[in-house]
Amino acid sequence: MSPFFSWKHWGCVTPRNLIDISKELDGDHANLDGFEELSEEDQERVAQALAAGKIAEADATTFTDEEQRMYDDYLSDEERLKEMRQEAKEAGKSFDLKAQRKVLQDGRSVARKAATQQAKADEKAAKVAEKEAKKAEKAAEKAEKQNAKASKKRKQVKDEDDDEEDEQDKDDKEPATKKQNRGKTASKAKVDRSASAAQQSTRAKKTKKTEETDEEGEEEVSEKPKAKAKRGKGQGKKLVKSESDSDELAVSKPKTTRRKKVVKAESDSEEEPAPKAKATKKTNRGKA
């Protein structure tokens, strides 16, 4: 009897089970336990399945992966046992079917256990790899953030350095400009002082010349009246008056550094010879 045979419901019976059961019954369904308890309809369905060696599509169930694997292993073992039995028969040796089936099943069990362990190891390795991948991804994200932060900081420092350089360049240019302006101002002031000194020197020379001319005029006027004092009281009075006018002109011309007063002094100096000429004329008249 097949180890996969179940009396609970027919849906779990495989085609191989049906073949084995059919061989055991040898066409007598009454020997099948529980067959007589079924309804006539169900008895007919079981009889058809045993005769066909397969369950009808309406009654068939889908195997799970594990059930399919077990069924395949069973068929494989049965095929392998047939081959082993034939080989033993040809060799004239005895053959223990149950013992050999157990060997195959144990070997399959060992192989299945090894496969299970390998699957578990592979699953564990996959989990470790996934964990490492996530860890590496987090590390990469962290490194990227740090690099971005460092890059931003470097840019900020560079901008600050550029600003400081601009300020330094500006500060370096300003003193040079101020110094240049001071140089221009000093040069201009020097030129102004030179011009002022030249003007003052010129005015001083003109003033001195005017004073010398006035003094010479006074001396001439003074000498002529002395020489002609005897010619008449009227003429002497006129001469004295002329001298007084000359003295007043000489006294009324004080020395000054201002341009307006110097110009006035020069104008007075230019007007001064008129009285002298008049006085001389009067003197000549006296001579006449």
Residue 106 exposed, middle or buried by CB count within 10 Å (0-12, 13-18, 19+)? exposed
Q: What is the dihedral of CA 260, 265, 270, 274, to 10 degrees?
A: 130
By mean pLDDT, which of 21-30, 58-67, 154-163, 170-179 is the weakest? 170-179
89, pLDDT greater than 80: yes
pLDDT, residue 228, reads 47
Distance, in Å, from the CA atom of 224 to the CA atom of 239, rounded to the nearest integer, reads: 9
Percent of the chain clearing pLDDT 90 (strictly above): 5
Q: Taking the domains of the chain in order of start, what are their residue ranges?
A: 10-118, 197-287
Do the Cβ atoms of 14 and 71 come closer than 8 Å?
yes
49, pLDDT greater than 70: yes
Report the alpha-carbon angle 103-108-111, nearest 5. Answer: 125
pLDDT, residue 102, reads 83
Q: How confident is the model at residue 47 (pLDDT cuts 50, 70, 90)?
A: confident
Q: How confident is the model at residue 181 (pLDDT cuts 50, 70, 90)?
A: low
pLDDT, residue 39, reads 87
Which position has the higher pLDDT, 185 or 106? 106
138, pLDDT greater than 60: yes
Average pLDDT, the chain: 68
233-288 pLDDT, tens per residue?
445 444 445 555 555 444 444 454 445 554 454 555 544 554 544 444 444 444 43
Spatial neighbors of 232 by CB under 8 A, at least 6 apart, are 286
Do the Cβ atoms of 236 and 221 come closer than 8 Å?
no
